[in-house]
Amino acid sequence: MAFDYDLFVIGAGSGGLASSKRAASYGARVAVAEHDLVGGTCVIRGCIPKKLMVYAAHFGEYFEDAVGYGWDPVKPNFSWQKLIAAKDAEILRLNQLHTKWLKDAGVHLFPQRATLVDAHTIAVGTERVTAEKILIAVGGEAIRPEAIPGIEHTLTSRELFHLPQQPERLAILGAGYIAVEFAGIMNGLGSQVVQLVRGDNILRGFDEDVRNTVYDGMTDHGIDIRLITRLEKIEPVADGLSLTLKDMEQPVVVDAILCATGRAPQVAGLGLEQVGVELTLMGAVKVNEFSQTTVEHIFAVGDCTDRANLTPVAIAEGRAFADTEFGGKPKAISYDLIPTSVFSQPEVGTVGLSETVAAAHYGHDEIVCYKAKFRPLYHTLSGRTDKTLVKLVVHQPTDKILGAHMVGPSAAEVIQGIAIALTMGATKKDFDNTMGIHPTAAEEFVTLR
């Protein structure tokens, strides 16, 4: 059978873009369908706009910190509208750039929604096209807990990026990295933030020292984090939105509510089930180590597979898929030692195992941790009490470093380099034998004793 394309990709996010361009470089005839801006969650409503807003949120403190360094105090004015307009302009520029790169690579872009008609046929707008291989790269989307009455009055991160006015009072539901990051952003931009957490701490799954250090830093900066809190209902009132909390007499009244309680694969309406593509119990596309679904010629990468929901992972999966299927170079991705960050305030960088996970896997007696918590040099003159944490989790019998964790300024930048060392199998002795750069926070990793 003759097909219109060798590869048809549904979704032009990180994984879809990476796979389509790599496949085209091998001579494949490739098309991509995307009904939204090209770039996916990361570019449009995730990593990039979020990081731009993180930068913006720091300037208020910079003005204050400058006084300790001899600068006269100033009264800065912040414009939410200017920030959002500048952010939108940058997102549009990136969308146009990614669109151009697809064209330059010889990939045909369908700016419409695509669905599967049968195992080799895709409906795109009013057209139907065929492809020998199909790749699902539709990503994920924020979800709301339906059981809470009034949850429809909440925003997700998608809407928060486009609010016409900055809320003076903001409630955030959730304890994960998205909730924690937006709490820091909005607090830094001047909103009064209350974060409602069902559990006993934020950032579940991260190292306990990291969780506690971030919690202390956030509360020290004025974020009202309420742990072990159950939201019973949300109601519109004259001066905003009222949140009724279990076992609390007085409701919390705010101007807006961000629901950051989780994300789910965006696979509804694609027609996957009717062509035999199986989903996991959590609704993600089921794939093997080569991103192949239960249908031999249909594949999936990125957040819709729910393996590791990170942009670099989706890119790596997309390229590995193209190398395997079109480049004759079979490749599977390793999900060990994936470095990650939380652009919270304070910032987190981490790679490898937490102390808890390492102890559970190897036994408490075989794990030794080295850590330091200190006031960074910058704040000796700013007057702030912010703390930086560095921590290494080491397997004592082999001296191998199993995990590295940092909380503090530029933590993500520092951990990216350390991740290389851990990937190469670095030991504590290797770190001990490495000269530090003084005075930096990063040098603490090679002076821990």
Which domain CATH number covers 433?
3.30.390.30
Instruction: Please calculate the CA angle 269-283-297 and round it to the nearest 5 degrees.
Output: 70
Same domain, 85 and 178: no
Residue 67 has pLDDT above 80, yes or no: yes
Q: What is the mean pLDDT of the chain?
A: 97
Same domain, 256 and 273: no
Between β-strands 121-124 and 127-136, what pairing exists: parallel, antiparallel or unpaired? antiparallel
Lay out the sheet containing 252-254: strands in order across: 231-237, 240-245, 252-254
User: Comparing 49-53, 303-307, 424-428, which segment has the lowest mean pLDDT?
Assistant: 303-307
Phi/psi at 184 (5° precision): -65, -40
- The residue type at 275: V
Which two structure tokens, joined as six digits, stand for 381?
């003159």
Query: Which of 128, 134, 125 lies closest to 277, judged by CA?
Result: 134
Reported confidence tier of residue 391, pLDDT bands at 50, 70, 90: very high
Reported confidence tier of residue 306, pLDDT bands at 50, 70, 90: confident
What pTM was estimated for this model as a whole?
A: 0.96
- Whether residue 346 has a cis bond before it, omega within 30° of 0: yes
pLDDT digits over 198-213, tens only? 999 999 999 999 999 9
Residue 73 lies in a domain: yes
Residue 426 lies in a domain: yes
Cα gap 446→229, rounded to integer Å: 40
| Residues 220 and 190: beta-carbon distance below 8 Å | no
Which two structure tokens, joined as six digits, stand for 155?
């925003």
pLDDT digits over 79-135, tens only? 999 999 999 999 999 999 999 999 999 999 999 999 999 999 999 999 999 999 999
Query: Which of 57, 136, 52 lies closest to 93, judged by CA?
Result: 52
Which residues in 279-361 belong to E strands, given as ranges? 298-300, 340-342, 348-352
Residue 1 has pLDDT above 80, yes or no: no
SS3 labels along 233-275? EEEEECCEEEEEECCCCCCEEECEEEECCCEEECCCCCCCHHH
Number of domains making up the chain: 3
Same domain, 297 and 404: no
Which two structure tokens, joined as six digits, stand for 26?
């091998």
Residue 224 has pLDDT above 80, yes or no: yes
Mapped onto helix, strand or coil, the DSSP state of residue 56 is helix
Same domain, 67 and 85: yes
Residue 333 lies in a domain: no
Cα gap 160→49, rounded to integer Å: 11
Predicted confidence at residue 41, as pLDDT, reads: 94
Q: Which domain holds residue 109?
A: 5-141+264-326
Reported confidence tier of residue 376, pLDDT bands at 50, 70, 90: very high
Residue 332 lies in a domain: no
Give the pLDDT mean for 157-175: 97
Same domain, 306 and 349: no
Reported confidence tier of residue 333, pLDDT bands at 50, 70, 90: very high
Element (H, E) at 181: helix 177-188
Same domain, 185 and 298: no
Reported confidence tier of residue 311, pLDDT bands at 50, 70, 90: very high
Which residue among the candidates 35, 221, 405, 438 is catalytic per the annotation? 438
Mark which of 214, 234, 261 sits at the end of a domain. Answer: 261
Same domain, 308 and 425: no
Cα gap 257→352, rounded to integer Å: 34
Mark which of 261, 277, 311 sits at the end of a domain. Answer: 261
Predicted confidence at residue 4, as pLDDT, reads: 98
CA 49 to chain centre: 12
Residue 146 lies in a domain: no
Cα gap 298→292, rounded to integer Å: 6
Instruction: Please calculate the CA angle 41-42-48 and round it to the nearest 5 degrees.
Output: 130
Same domain, 136 and 268: yes
Same domain, 16 and 99: yes
Query: Scanning the structure block, which residue is given the tokens 């599967």?
Result: 116
Same domain, 180 and 288: no
Mapped onto helix, strand or coil, the DSSP state of residue 28 is coil
Element (H, E) at 128: strand 127-136
Residue 331 lies in a domain: no
pLDDT digits over 39-60, tens only? 999 999 999 999 999 999 999 9
Mark which of 261, 291, 309 sits at the end of a domain. Answer: 261
Residue 334 lies in a domain: no
Same domain, 183 and 87: no
Query: Which of 124, 157, 115 lies closest to 140, judged by CA?
Result: 157
Instruction: Please calculate the CA angle 89-112-23 and round it to the nearest 5 degrees.
Output: 90
Same domain, 16 and 137: yes
SS3 labels along 391-415? EEEEECCCCEEEEEEEECCCHHHHH
Which two structure tokens, joined as six digits, stand for 370?
């080295």
Residue 302 lies in a domain: yes
Give the domain CATH number at 110: 3.50.50.60
| 438 a catalytic residue | yes
Predicted confidence at residue 289, as pLDDT, reads: 97
